[in-house]
Amino acid sequence: MLHIKNLHARVGDKEILKGLTLDINPGEVHAIMGPNGTGKSTLASIIAGKTDYEVTAGEILFHGKNILEMSADERAREGIFLAFQYPVEIPGVSTTNFMKAALNAKRKHQGLEPITAKDFLKLMNEKRQLVELDKSYLSRSINEGFSGGEKKRNEIFQMAMLEPLFSVMDETDSGLDIDALRIVAEGVNKLRNKDNAFLVITHYQRLLNYIVPDFVHVMYDGRIVKTGDKNLALRMEEKGYDWIKEEVGA
């Protein structure tokens, strides 16, 4: 589904990704862990199409298409979703209106008619319950005055609404208390199916107790330096990152 080959990227003079390779297939959940400043969030941003970074080498293929040639909105309409670490507020724009515009943009891309008001309301009602988001949030300005947990739940709600093929979750667990973490994770689990895939970026193993990954990758200095199953995450939690640094000779 998503194939990243030898990806190099920099911002200004600073090289952040130094030859990253990753293959993700439908139905899989991959987790990326690693110390601060190793390029995890940069990877998420580059996949989603943020233009602050310059890709100097390598490629990212999504269903065979080179997405590095697409704008961020094209990638989104193709089915790539990023759950933001810091979701923004949009004053005066309700989650309802925002989602309607987003969903219809995607439907248009797929050659479908805009969704009817009735179907849309039904869909919203169904999806918001996945993350236990109260109805009242949907008519409020998006993320305005939301708590950290509510913002993250709203991200997963949007993911549920848009049904992306590939979702990146950028430290979705940061700033969540244990209850919110459970709600978010259970929401994601309900969205998992054989056709979609997830890339979960996190510092902590605890999220992976709920969203159980098929693969765990450790990222260090712009590369994936170790790959294993869910047990690798447990070892990381136990031993910290230092042993990885030693292992790769840093």
Partner 1 sequence: MSDQDTILDEHIAGEYKYGFASDIAQETVAAGLSEDTVRFISAKKNEPEWMLEWRLTAYRQWLKMKQPHWQNVHFHDINFQDIIYYAAPKKKPEYKSLDEVDPELLAVYDKLGLPKEEQKILAGVAVDFVMDSESVITTYKATLAEKGIIFCSISEAIREHPALVKQYLGSVVPPRDNYYSALNSAVFSDGSFVYIPKGVRCPMELSTYFRINAQNTGQFERTLIIAEEGSYVSYLEGCTAPMRDENQLHAAVVELVTMDNAEIKYSTVQNWYPGDKEGKGGIYNFVTKRGLCKGVNSKISWTQVETGSAITWKYPSCILKGDNSIGEFYSVAVTNNYQQADTGTKMIHIGKNTRSRIVSKGISGGKSQNSYRGLVQVAGTAENAYNFSQCDSLLLGDKCGAHTFPYLEIKNKSAQVEHEATTSKIGEDLMFYCNQRGLTSEEAVDMIVNGYCKEVFKQLPMEFAVEAQKLLSISLEGSVG
Residue listed under structure tokens 């003079």: 13
232: alpha, beta or left, given left = phi > 0 and alpha = psi -120 to 50?
alpha
In the complex with partner 1, the residue whose CB is nearer, 54 or 177, is: 54
Closest approach, Cβ 221 to partner 1, in A, equals: 26
Distance of closest approach, residue 91 Cβ to partner 1, in angstroms: 6
Q: Within 10 A of 203 (CB to CB), how many other CB atoms are there? A: 17
Q: How many CB atoms lie within 10 A of CB 129?
A: 14
Residue from 36, 30, 35 nearest 47 by CA: 30
**Shorter beta-carbon distance to partner 1: residue 65 or 239:** 65
Q: Which residue has the tokens 């708590």?
A: 147
Compute the distance between CA of residue 250 and CA of residue 236 in angstroms, rounded to an integer: 17
Residue closer to partner 1 by CB (options 41, 205) is 41
Closest distance of CB 71 from partner 1, Å: 7
Nearer to partner 1, 49 or 232 (CB): 49
Catalog residues that contact partner 1 under the rule CB under 8 A: 48-50, 52, 71-73, 76-77, 81-82, 84, 86-88, 90-93, 97-98, 101-102, 105-106, 109, 141, 158, 162
Cα 6 from Cα 128, distance rounded (Å): 38
Residue 99 CB, nearest approach to partner 1 (Å): 8
Contacts of 18 (CB under 8 A, 6+ apart): 8, 221, 222, 223
The angle at the Cα of 24, spanning 31 to 178, to the nearest 5 degrees, equals 25
Nearer to partner 1, 28 or 170 (CB): 170
Q: How far is the CB of 163 from partner 1 (least distance, A)?
A: 12
Based on C-alpha coordinates, what's the Rg of the chain? 18
State in angstroms the smallest separation of the CB of 92 from partner 1. 3
Looking at beta carbons only, is 87 or 175 nearer to partner 1?
87
Residue number with CB closer to partner 1 (168 or 216) = 168
Which amino acid belongs to residue 232? L
Q: How far is the CB of 233 from partner 1 (least distance, A)?
A: 27
Are the CB atoms for 16 and 222 separated by under 8 Å?
yes
Residue with tokens 């054989």: 194
